[in-house]
């Protein structure tokens, strides 16, 4: 038995086998090869494996998002069989006497540059696909899996670090807990763990030999117990059973009002990242969805999701919520959420860089596609739209102008939409807080993103594990800002809520009620604990 100490970013106990995810180093070296025929045979073998991976992805996507969302994996399979593509790989191996990885990567770069230079929009978009299939082939040739979990049973996922694009690929039903060497409490892996209600640890110094071993993740103390002895295992199994009993007790609050004894109330909504999370929202009896992080739709794909694909997703969420409020945040990528096909340049300081609404205003065609899908879906429930990372009134006015264009186009095309869709902004920057009196005149509501607001107020990168202990959302500066935003919203008759992680901090629930917040949107698993505190208040 070995006990590794780390830091807990979400509590709970999980018991199961460890599965270490390999960090994929796909940087390719040029190596001299004498036996070129054997190298070509390696390419053929790798191609077979890549096609099988894509078939699996196709089947999964078909079930989860339907035919149109799955089609891309079929296209990728066809591309891997393209004669010109394969001839180029074979030629490079034979003419230059080089290894398969190098030939595939070079062909991938050449072909994708060629596609990127084409006039036709559709063909230009294929550049990212070529890059994607080449990366996949290189990964297979280098002995890496497809980045997914091979396990039959649910496992404890252990990794160096997990980017949102990696977690999105994981089959969530196979994950018992997240354990990483790096990462921070505010990373999206931590947020995902909260949504899934599974423990997560960071700063764990694991070693590769632990792969496949039985372990306990103790999200209370922050330790990973590898190969536990019988007595320890029994103790933790009992603790886990007790945890399940506690959760069952909270379920008794389902259907009850979120109201203090004296009748003060607020709206208690839940945060989601995909259609799949809606079941969790309903199971935990949230009154609505206060934050749908729509960027996960983009992260899951190899290319821009179409208007139709997005429309289907927003419509499904709205319908499943059966008229309850669904606040969908427009695309918030950049910073830690990078997407290859957006082809964004490397930035020294991405958290303060080209991200969120800045990208949408700079690439209106991407923004308009999403807005069209949102307005069309508004016919199927109560959808509100929320814009992230706002710093100025001018941005809001630019957004309004684009929204007007979208509405006019839909009207001209005879496509129905609701004209009264509520539109609000996230308050995540000190700039937005300081001008919240002006912004309140422009929008229908404010939702405070305390994760970023803390980062920008305290000048602490939320991804920087070294600074985790001083990243303090309870800082008086952050709490005063929240109060200021609430007061400025109310002066204009608008509502204000919190959708950052702080909203679920039960040590502050009473204070939030006193501050006059109108809404809290929390991970689904926190809905009932927060409701309990509010119901116990006078
Ligand atoms: C926030 O910043 O508080 C927020 C809710 O947005 P995200 O965590 O997705 O950046
Ligand atoms: Mg944010």
Q: What is the pLDDT of residues 484-509, one digit of tens each?
A: 999 999 999 999 999 999 999 999 99
521: which DSSP letter? E
pLDDT recorded at residue 439: 98
* Contact yes or no for 233/213 (Cβ under 8 A): no
**Residue of 32, 76, 188, 474 marked active site:** 188
On the CB side of 178, CA atoms within 13 Å amount to 33
Q: How far, in Å, is the centroid of ligand 2 from the Cα of 172?
A: 23
Nearest-angstrom CA–CA distance, 90 and 80: 13
pLDDT recorded at residue 126: 80
225-230: list long-range contacts, CB under 8 Å, 24+ apart. Answer: 225/1, 225/2, 225/3, 225/4, 226/1, 226/2, 226/3, 226/4, 226/18, 227/1, 227/2, 228/1, 229/1
Which distant-in-sequence residues (6+ apart) come within 8 Å of 94 by Cβ?
A: 36, 40
Read off the tokens for 178. 């997240």
The residue whose CA has the least distance to atom 9 of ligand 1 is 293
Ligand nearest to the CA of 187: 1
pLDDT recorded at residue 65: 63
The SS3 assignment for 201 reads strand
Nearest-angstrom CA–CA distance, 328 and 523: 15
The whole-number mean pLDDT for each consecutive block of 10 residues of the chain, a chain of 538 residues, reads 94 94 74 93 94 85 71 87 92 94 92 84 78 87 67 87 75 91 81 86 93 94 96 95 86 94 97 92 96 95 94 96 97 90 91 96 98 98 98 98 98 97 98 98 98 97 91 97 98 98 97 98 95 96
Question: In this structure, are strands 2-5 and 223-226 parallel, antiparallel, or unpaired?
Answer: antiparallel
Nearest-angstrom CA–CA distance, 518 and 448: 11
On the CB side of 107, CA atoms within 13 Å amount to 29
Atom of ligand 1 nearest to the CA of 388: 6
The model carries a pTM of 0.73
Nearest-angstrom CA–CA distance, 410 and 208: 55
360 a catalytic residue: no
What's the mean per-residue pLDDT of the chain? 92
Read off the tokens for 430. 């000190």
- Residues 259-290 pLDDT 10s: 999 999 999 999 999 998 998 899 999 999 99
Nearest-angstrom CA–CA distance, 435 and 305: 34
* Contact yes or no for 272/289 (Cβ under 8 A): yes
Read off the tokens for 301. 């794909």
Q: How far, in Å, is the centroid of ligand 2 from the Cα of 451?
A: 6
Site to substitute for ligand 1 among 388, 461, 462, most atoms within 8 A of C-beta: 388
Report the share of the chain in percent with pLDDT over 70. 96
pLDDT recorded at residue 470: 95
Ligand nearest to the CA of 500: 1
Enumerate the H helices of 117-229 as residue ranges: 121-141, 164-167, 188-196
Nearest-angstrom CA–CA distance, 290 and 521: 5
The residue whose CA has the least distance to atom 1 of ligand 1 is 449
The SS3 assignment for 325 reads strand
Pocket lining for ligand 1, CB < 6 angstroms: 291, 293, 332, 428, 449-452, 499-500
**Among 51, 102, 57, which residue's Cα sits nearest to residue 81?**
51
Q: How far, in Å, is the centroid of ligand 2 from the Cα of 333?
A: 10
188 a catalytic residue: yes
340: which DSSP letter? G
Nearest-angstrom CA–CA distance, 278 and 320: 7
Q: Edge-to-edge, what's the strand order for the sheet holding 214-218?
A: 2-5, 223-226, 214-218, 13-20, 155-159, 175-180, 200-202, 7-10
């Amino acid at each position: 038995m070995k006990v590794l100490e780390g830091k807990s970013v979400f509590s709970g106990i999980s018991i199961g086998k460890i599965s270490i995810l390999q960090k994929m180093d796909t940087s390719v070296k040029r190596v001299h090869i004498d036996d070129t025929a054997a190298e070509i045979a390696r390419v053929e073998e790798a191609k077979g494996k890549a096609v099988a991976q894509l078939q699996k992805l196709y089947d999964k996507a078909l079930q989860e998002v339907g035919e149109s969302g799955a089609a891309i994996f079929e296209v990728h399979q066809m591309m891997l069989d393209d004669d010109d593509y394969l001839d180029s790989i074979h030629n490079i191996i034979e003419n230059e006497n080089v290894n398969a990885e190098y030939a595939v990567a070079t062909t991938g770069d050449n072909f994708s540059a060629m596609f990127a230079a084409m006039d036709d929009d559709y063909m230009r978009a294929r550049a990212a696909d070529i890059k994607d299939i080449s990366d996949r082939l290189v990964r297979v040739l280098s002995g890496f899996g497809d980045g997914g979990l091979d396990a039959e049973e649910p496992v404890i996922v252990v990794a160096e670090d997990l980017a949102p694009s990696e977690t999105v690929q994981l089959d969530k039903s196979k994950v018992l807990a997240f354990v990483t060497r790096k990462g921070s409490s505010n990373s999206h892996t931590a947020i995902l763990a909260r949504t899934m209600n599974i423990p997560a640890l960071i700063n764990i110094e694991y070693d590769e030999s632990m792969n496949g071993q039985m372990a306990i993740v103790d999200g209370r103390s922050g330790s990973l117990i590898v190969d536990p002895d019988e007595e320890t295992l029994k103790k933790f199994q009992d603790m886990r059973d007790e945890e399940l009993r506690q959760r069952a007790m909270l379920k008794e609050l389902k259907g009850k009002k979120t109201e203090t004894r004296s009748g003060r109330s607020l709206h208690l909504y839940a945060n989601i990242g995909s259609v799949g999370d809606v079941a969790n929202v309903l199971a935990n009896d949230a009154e609505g969805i206060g934050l749908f992080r729509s960027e996960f739709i983009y992260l899951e794909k190899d290319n821009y999701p179409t208007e139709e694909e997005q429309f289907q997703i927003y419509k499904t969420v709205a319908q499943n919520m059966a008229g309850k409020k669904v606040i969908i945040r427009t695309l918030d990528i950049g910073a830690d959420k990078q997407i290859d096909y957006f082809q964004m340049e490397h930035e020294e300081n991405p958290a303060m860089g080209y991200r969120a609404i800045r990208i949408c205003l700079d690439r209106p065609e991407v923004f308009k596609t999403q807005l069209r899908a949102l307005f069309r879906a508004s016919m199927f429930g109560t959808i509100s739209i929320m814009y992230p990372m706002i710093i100025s009134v001018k941005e809001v006015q630019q957004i309004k102008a684009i929204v007007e264009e979208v509405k006019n186009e839909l009207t001209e095309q005879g496509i129905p939409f609701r004209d009264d869709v509520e539109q609000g902004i996230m308050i995540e920057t000190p700039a937005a807080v300081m001008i919240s009196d002006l912004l309140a005149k422009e929008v229908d509501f404010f939702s405070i993103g305390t994760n970023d607001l803390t980062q920008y107020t305290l000048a602490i990168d939320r991804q920087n594990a070294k600074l985790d202990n001083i990243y303090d959302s309870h800082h008086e500066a952050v709490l005063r800002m929240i109060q200021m935003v609430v007061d400025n919203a109310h002066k204009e008759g608008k509502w204000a809520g919190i959708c950052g992680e702080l909203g679920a901090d039960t040590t502050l629930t009473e204070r939030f009620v006193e501050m006059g917040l109108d809404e809290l949107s929390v991970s689904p698993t926190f809905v009932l604990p927060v409701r309990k505190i509010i119901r116990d208040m006078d």
